Amino acid sequence: MYWNPVVEKMSKSELNELQERKLRQTVEFAYRYSEFYRKLYDKAGVKPEDIKSLEDLEKLPFVKKQDLRDNYPYGMFAVPLKDVVRIHASSGTTGKPTVTGYTYSDLELWTESLARGLYSAGVRREDVIQNAYGYGLFTGGLGFHYAAEKIGATVIPASSGNTQRQIELMRDLGTTVICCTPSYMVYLAEYAEKMGVSLRDDTKLRMGFFGAEPWSEETRKRIEEKTGIDAINVYGTSEISGPVVTECHEKAGIHFWSDIFIIEVIDPETGERLGEGEKGELVVTVLGKEALPMIRWRTGDITAIIEEKCNCGRWHPRIERIVGRADDMFIVRGVNVFPSQVEYALMQVKEVSEHYQIVLDRDEAGLDVMTVLVEINPEYKDKVSYEDVRKKVTETLKSYLNVTPKVEIVEPETLPRFEGKAKRVIDKRKV
């Protein structure tokens, strides 16, 4: 059995006391050993001794992705490189990559957090976990690998890609848990059908952990209906240690362990802290992180905090499903749109599939044009009028987005499939 009964059963007041003590230690460590944090706090006129309670957290300035890029590669580290046992990095597709380092203690903290999450959702040492997240500089593969091993489960390090082989492994090795992106899980189920394999009937698969991209509650329902598994939501960013937290078996929000994290939600524009249930940008402080301290890290992800006690019995706060990233949001004729909103709306229409793409362009007059391409659901291919479905999708998107897109209903298997993160938006306006 793997769980931490002392911490997981703590009351809210006990958790707050623990957080305050660890916050003071974390700020003191960062100020003493990180030149970046020392300069940041001196400029803001705040000293470690000014942080006495959780309310004092707001005295500290935020840390942003640009800070990591400006200090590339090791400028924000608080320990010498000889104490760093692993390096991860982002792809750097939008500029310099962000480099993150880990001491042995950091890796233990990361593994503890995710292992606790997996166990809370129902993973046990008897499980066979097929890890189809990518191994390498991306944090997903190794994060799930070590967390599953800590529980004592059997791990299949399949990595991403080679879809036919993935399905063969599931059948031959008795996989019970799959870890991958939600879009890849949709593709796996689709590919299995072509192979004449039912993931529901021909495998032992019972649970999946899906993250690394926003996905809707409706997509969860479709995955569960198609495959018969429990689909569990996962969250993490490479800066706070990759995938670190999950939903519990209640599937009612992602738990952040209070002995490891302090979470806030702020107004992305003003930086003002928002109340429980109010949607804004998630800010995370990692307690006890050594190599690369993360204090008031602006994740860019839009969500809301749930403070009330979970039905699982834990007081550790939760976040709602991520709506999208602040930097993924696009504006069409003055209206803010997140790709996840489009997905949610599309999944209300049973005649279309989970595969879609958004193309942004401008017309001759220079006005924004949003085109949504979505595949017809194969079950309805010969039963409905494509024009009727197009009109239905258009009206549904209009009601959810407050903007009227162009809609194209395309044949099954027309749009690209992805073995990692799905590329949903093509913005030609930037070209």
Q: How many CB atoms lie within 10 A of CB 54?
A: 15
- What's the rounded Cα separation, in Å, for the pair 156 and 87? 23
Q: Are residues 270 and 418 in the same domain?
A: no
Q: Are residues 372 and 280 in the same domain?
A: no
Q: Are residues 197 and 230 in the same domain?
A: yes
- Triad 416, 395, 404: Cα angle to 5°: 75
- What's the rounded Cα separation, in Å, for the pair 184 and 159? 12
- What's the rounded Cα separation, in Å, for the pair 81 and 214? 34
Summarize the confidence of residues 15-21 as an average pLDDT: 97
Summarize the confidence of residues 255-264 as an average pLDDT: 98
- What's the rounded Cα separation, in Å, for the pair 266 and 253? 18
Local confidence band at 5 (pLDDT 50, 70, 90 cut-offs): confident
Q: Are residues 244 and 379 in the same domain?
A: no
The closest of 264, 301, 242, 27 to 113, measured between CA atoms, is: 242
Of 45-49, 57-61, 330-334, where does mean pLDDT reach its minimum? 330-334
- What's the rounded Cα separation, in Å, for the pair 112 and 3? 9
Length reported for the chain: 431
Local confidence band at 91 (pLDDT 50, 70, 90 cut-offs): low
Give the DSSP letter string of 286-313: ETT--SS--SSEEEEEEE-EE-SPPTTS
Tokens of 407: 């809609």
Q: Are residues 134 and 202 in the same domain?
A: yes
Q: Decide if pLDDT at 214 tops 90.
A: no
Q: Are residues 289 and 372 in the same domain?
A: no
pLDDT at 367: 83
Q: How many helices (H) and strands (E) does the chain have?
A: 11, 21
**Torsions phi, psi of 20, nearest 5?**
-60, -45
Q: How many CB atoms lie within 10 A of CB 249?
A: 14
Domain containing residue 348: CATH number = 3.30.300.30
* C-alpha of 271 from chain center: 22
pTM for the model stands at: 0.88
Total number of domains constituting the chain: 2
Residue of 103 and 94 predicted with greater confidence: 103
Residue pLDDT, tens place only, 155-176: 999 999 999 999 999 999 999 9
Domain boundary, last residue among 326, 346, 363: 326
Residue pLDDT, tens place only, 144-154: 999 999 999 99
Residue pLDDT, tens place only, 302-342: 999 999 999 999 999 999 999 888 777 888 888 888 888 89
Helix (H) or strand (E) holding 129: strand 128-131
- What's the rounded Cα separation, in Å, for the pair 339 and 347? 13
Residue of 4 and 45 predicted with greater confidence: 45
Domain boundary, last residue among 326, 342, 372: 326
Tokens of 175: 């996989």
Q: Are residues 335 and 293 in the same domain?
A: no
Residue of 47 and 331 predicted with greater confidence: 47
Q: Are residues 174 and 208 in the same domain?
A: yes
Give the DSSP letter string of 84-122: --EEEE---TTSSPPEEEE-HHHHHHHHHHHHHHHHHHT
Domain boundary, last residue among 281, 301, 326: 326
- What's the rounded Cα separation, in Å, for the pair 70 and 213? 26
pLDDT at 430: 64
The closest of 280, 339, 281, 275 to 307, measured between CA atoms, is: 275
How high is the mean pLDDT of the chain? 94
Domain containing residue 158: CATH number = 3.40.50.12780
- What's the rounded Cα separation, in Å, for the pair 402 and 185? 30
Tokens of 284: 């995370």
- What's the rounded Cα separation, in Å, for the pair 202 and 372? 35
Residue of 85 and 423 predicted with greater confidence: 85
Q: Are residues 307 and 338 in the same domain?
A: no
Q: Are residues 320 and 351 in the same domain?
A: no
- What's the rounded Cα separation, in Å, for the pair 410 and 395? 17
Q: What is the DSSP letter of 346?
A: H
Q: Are residues 298 and 343 in the same domain?
A: no
Summarize the confidence of residues 20-45 as an average pLDDT: 98
Q: Are residues 51 and 136 in the same domain?
A: yes
Q: How far apart are the first and last CA of the chain?
A: 54
Summarize the confidence of residues 275-289 as an average pLDDT: 97
CA distances from 297 to 65, 66, 378 (A): 8, 11, 43
Residue pLDDT, tens place only, 371-420: 999 999 999 999 999 999 999 999 999 999 988 999 999 999 999 998 88
Domain containing residue 34: 1-326
Strand order in 406-410's β-sheet?
Answer: 406-410, 368-376, 352-362, 425-427
Give the DSSP letter string of 140-154: HHHHHHHHHHHHT-E
Q: Decide if pLDDT at 1 tops 60.
A: no
CA distances from 1 to 26, 135, 269, 340, 343 (A): 30, 27, 45, 36, 38
Helix (H, G, I), strand (E, B) or coil at 255: strand
